[in-house]
Amino acid sequence: METDLNSQDRKDLEKLIKFFALKTVQVIVQAQLGEKNCTHSSSSPTSSDWFSLAIKDTPEVTHKAKKALAGQLPAVGRPMCTGISLKTSEGHSMELEIWCLEMNEKCDKEIKVPYKVYNRLPLLLKSLLAITRVTTAYRLSRKQDMNVSYSTGYILVKSS
């Protein structure tokens, strides 16, 4: 994070990064569930509507993400990765996708953290929502039924 930020801007940025990281994991993992996603805007958003993306958080995913992060936010040189794996009924497993959220050192000193950053993140999340729905893991999870002998799963990896 930029060292020129005042304490309030730094606190606001950390809060945005925390919620963004958790919502990113939700978007990625929910794509592997194979369900179509229809979200609606709200004029008075709740805490689950962060970034104008009203997807319902799965408590298990949130718990695993918080545990994997262990109180550390994604930062320069410290990405947060979410992997989607394929598991067969025979017990074989292979990694299908790995999604990493990482910060870079670039910073526009002209923007106000609470406003501009918050306003830019919904576009990124909505793009991620769209992209995760065209991947191999999503297509496989949409085709799952009782006759198919595989399942997709996820892992959270915190790189140091």
pLDDT at 40: 60
- Which residue type occupies 33? L
- Mean pLDDT in residue range 115-137: 84
* Residue given tokens 């550390």 in the structure block: 72
C-beta of residue 129 within 8 angstroms of C-beta of residue 27: yes
pLDDT at 140: 74
What is the per-residue pLDDT across 65-92, written as a single tens digit (0 to 9) for each? Answer: 888 888 888 888 888 888 888 777 777 7
The pair of three-digit structure tokens given for residue 143, joined into one six-digit string: 């085709």
pLDDT at 88: 73
In a domain, 101, yes or no: yes
Q: In this model, does residue 1 exceed pLDDT 60?
A: no
In a domain, 125, yes or no: yes
Handedness of CA 53, 41, 123, 38 (dihedral sign): positive
In a domain, 99, yes or no: yes
Number of domains present in the structure of the chain: 1
Tell me whether strands 150-158 and 80-88 are parallel, antiparallel or unpaired: antiparallel
In a domain, 93, yes or no: yes
Domain containing 141 equals 7-158
Pick the most confident of 42-51, 55-64, 142-151.
Answer: 55-64
Whether pTM exceeds 0.95 = no
In a domain, 1, yes or no: no
Q: State the distance between the two ends of the chain, measured CA to CA, in whole angstroms.
A: 16
Q: In this model, does residue 155 exceed pLDDT 80?
A: no
